[in-house]
A and B are shown apart, each in its own frame.
Chain A
Amino acid sequence: MKFLQNIGLILFILGLLVFTALPFLGTYQLEPSMVEEHTKEMHQEAMQEILEPMVGKTYSSNFSFIKAYNQHFNTYNEALKEEQAWDQVIWDDYLFPLTKAASSGPVAEAPNLFMALSIGLAVLGGLLYIFPLYRNVPAGIKHDGIYFSAMKARGWLGIITGTYLIGFYVILYWYPEYLANLVIMVDPLSYLLSGNPASQWFLYGLIYTLAILVMGIRMFRKYKGNNYQTIRTVSVMFFQLSFAFLIPEILVLFNMPWHDFKNIWPLDYSFFYEYRIDGMLSSGALGMFMLVWGIILIVIGVPIFTYFYGKRWYCSWVCGCGGLAETLGDPYRQLSDKSLKSWKIERYLVHGVLVFAVLMTAITITNYFMEFSLLGQATDQLHAIYGFAIGSAFAGVIGTGFYPFMGNRVWCRFGCPLAAYLGMVQRFKSRFRITTNGGQCISCGNCSTYCEMGIDVRWYAQRGQNIVRSSCVGCGVCSAVCPRGVLKLENGSEEGRINDMPIIIGNESINVKSS
């Protein structure tokens, strides 16, 4: 078993190395036909002229190709900006599609082979490592050695992993042209699903989904015997694979807009953007359903479900961000900060992002209905700021890249505007709570340590109080790790949900009258 696991580890690392090396393979040659195919008509002439010096040359790496492109392109644009000829400046980004088109070499020739050697090996290796985990070991808590681990306790492996993830996200969001070969590699799969070539987002979606599936199986092994963990993991795996990955691609195959039916505004912050609304409105009955369904989820779905089950119905059962956090991020859950100070920062930040998202959307919708007489194209600037700061930097780079440093729910805790909305319902109008079992708490701290949301669960439990907190995503791990059976996630009557016990059950010496 150990042998299989070691093989798995080696295969995973090999796959990761191949994946990391692929962008550096091959040569790059630009042809006028590529420029014609990948630029808008209005820019055709200018782009052909700008890139003319590059045509026919062979660039030996993506670095030299991208450098040459930027040089020519920026010289052109900067000159126009100097002259303040704003209407002639090219704002569109053609670098990624042109790099992808210009790339030739082993990956473009045999994409499936390289897919097998990179993502395929990594998945296979991961599974070989995971399947034998805890075999012939009784079901129970598997936390031995976590704080001695170089990976899980901010050791050198964790630092390397975090750095790699952060680097990947920075490149994905702001320098996708360097990933051209990787995107070429997943083109065949993309054609199969949607009939279209892959974008960097397809590549990302594929890796994301595979990470949830493979690490989801790890959850089954780790939490063997805990049905709540198993069922909820099946749920996030299902929603990611179908709703977030397959269905949107298949929609595209049928000329529908790419749409994730389980993503809810304001997490899905572009839901009310002009292009999305227009896309839905021009897609017939299904498009109209997308719009109505989306609004129903916001206005009725969130409050009703959260009233009955708490925000967990979304955050740890359905959501994609939550899905990744609960699977890929599970090894890092103990790294969340439990201090009062971080709770304070959390409340300012998460509600701040919610206010930002609501204001931005309100302005966008108003502008839309006033047919852009209010602010013209200024909302685009607002969208760009939100997309950069919140959508990319916060949710992606920090949200996932910081798993090995600050735990697996950094985005969900400090940034997600939907979590803030769900949290308000959960805190003030819900049947959900974590019940503390009378006086059985021994203050050991396992619950607080393994709370991914940084809730100091023990603070409540040792007072005999139920835990009612807006941030709780209901992952159920506090309950699982409690060695005395003190915590239970429950939906129940609102009466007595928030309880304050001056004297914990079991001591009859003092009652409220005598004190």
Chain B
Amino acid sequence: MIENNIVILGNGISGVTCARHIRKNNPKVPITLVSAETRHFFSRTALMYIYMGHMTYEHTKPYADDFWEKNDISLRFGWVKEIDFGQKQLKFEDGEVLGYQQLVLATGSKPNKFGWPGQDLNGVQGLYSYQDLLNMEENTRDIDHAVLVGGGLIGVEMAEMLASRNIPVTFLVREKGFWDNVLPKKEAALVGRHIREHHVDLKLETALEEIIPDSSGRVKAVKTSNGETINCQFVGLTAGVSPNIEVLKNSELETNRGILVDHQFRTNLPDVFAIGDCAEFKTTPGKGRKHIEQVWYTGRMHGETLAHNLTQKKAVNYTPGIWFNSAKFFDIEYQTYGQVPAEWTEDSWSFYWESESGKVALRFLFDLEDRILGMNAFGWRMRHEFFDRAISEGWKAERVIRQLDKADFNPEFHKNFHQQLLSQYNREKGTSITLPKQSFIQKLIGSRS
């Protein structure tokens, strides 16, 4: 048995960030990263680009293969079938045993399946892991129609992937608008239009009833809640993900949907921690935050924070700052800062601007004292630092709107909509805010002050 100090199960962004920061803070402690997915860390968010031919798998690795040895982080490629928390041991499928003194669980997620008839047929799958990508490559070879189920970020990624190979796609979304549990109506409509612009047959308010097999046990069609039957050879299940904790259920480890942790990522067992998608906070880590945080950025922050606690004398609570997230819907980039729920209550008001093309839009949410609460940006890149500050300091609406040029993060010479947006704001609010003037010299040298 090999003697180890810290073992991290899972080499996704959470586990890897944790390992890197432990090493930064402590050059000596032995660290082992365990994974059965891939030998080396890759960027999960880039899986789609491998399928689309933008990159190869090698390009998606954020660190060169020799990085791990250079930083004295051991990698163990293998499937853990059982964890003996009493003996502090991981038992691998191949019979090997790995001991630990401290264990970090960062096992990520798996695609949701809601018990649809036929959900386990050949040609039916979700997209989360590298294995899923390989399956998708296999399952979509020479097909003439694909159906996607569930209106979220992975769904639109899969639609883009299939479209890149000219495979016709029908996209079933149960709700009234695309991703409308997160996006306000107008934004959901904007994204929906753009998805259709890419010739995806987006069917809103349509749910999956049944997946129908052919004689070989492969999908041949789906039946929708409208009673329609759509012939297809591939079904993508993209109705969200949930914590991947199969191996840990029925152990002493306390779990609910995910592994239950406190604000320092401690589980109910000593020396066992959980971070990333698989962790479920017993109480939310902040106002407006969720019990399970399943995005890249939070995974990274979990890793940073736990690494600190595992290496420093004084442990800290996980205290996320202003929320932010981003995505891309085909060609339209989306960024969000702070809190903009799909629907807001009477104690806040919103300003929405959309370009004539219907592809660029901004939404701001303010409280009744005009302090900014959050914003959504579509097709207009915004400076993270600007909104992090504006929201945490509670800048007033006029100040934010007037200074948007400082927040602008679009490439140089990009079409500038600031004046248009300002005019609409002035019209709606009866204000008379004007664009800040820049001298010729300031423009020439690209000064932002």
Contacts and interface: CB of A to CB of B under 8 A. Distances in A.
Given A144-B53, A446-B54, A449-B59, A507 B324 contact: no
A146 interface: yes
A36 B312 CA distance: 88
B328 A483 contact: yes
Nearest to A485: B381
B64 A506 contact: no
A284 interface: no
Contact of A440 (B64, B335, B447): B335
B445 A308 contact: yes
Contacts of A146: 53-54
Interface in B50-77: 52-56, 59-62, 64
Contacts of B328: 483-484
Interface stretch (A14-22, A177-185, A488-496): A488-496
B432 interface: no
A138 B333 CA distance: 13
A484 B335 contact: yes
Choose among B56, B297, B330, B415 the residue with the greatest number of A CB atoms under 10 Å from its CB: B297
A508 interface: yes
A139 B331 contact: yes
Contacts of B324: 438-440, 506
Interface in B321-336: 321-322, 324, 326-328, 330-331, 333, 335
B316 A445 contact: no
Contact of B412 (A443, A489, A508): A489
Nearest to A479: B411
Interface residues of B, number: 62
Given A144-B164, A484-B326, A489-B411, A442 B296 contact: yes
Interface of B is mostly: loop
Contact of A227 (B55, B388, B414): B414
B116 interface: no
Contacts of B60: 444-445
A503 B331 contact: no
Contacts of B55: 147, 444-446, 449
Contact of B330 (A140, A444, A476, A491): A140
Given A144-B52, A485-B409, A488-B409, A509 B319 contact: yes
A335 to B, nearest CB: 12
Contact of B446 (A141, A431, A476): A431
A145 B331 CA distance: 16
A435 B408 CA distance: 12
Contact of A442 (B43, B312, B335): B43
B170 interface: no
Q: Which 8 A-B pairs have the closest CB atoms?
A: A438-B384, A140-B331, A485-B381, A491-B446, A227-B413, A444-B46, A145-B53, A507-B301
B142 interface: no
B283 interface: no
A145 B59 CA distance: 15
A340 interface: yes
B308 A510 contact: yes
A492 B383 CA distance: 15
Given A141-B331, A443-B43, A449-B54, A505 B414 contact: no
Contacts of A443: 13, 43, 45-46, 62, 296
Contacts of A348: none
Nearest to A507: B301
Given A145-B164, A308-B445, A458-B62, A515 B312 contact: yes
Nearest to B414: A227
B232 to A, nearest CB: 22
Contacts of B43: 442-445
A490 B446 contact: yes
Contacts of B448: 490, 492-493
A431 B164 CA distance: 39
Interface string A461-478: 010000000000000100
B317 interface: yes
Given A506-B384, A507-B320, A514-B316, 9 more contacts: A140-B331, A227-B415, A438-B384, A443-B43, A493-B447, A493-B448, A508-B320, A509-B316, A514-B314
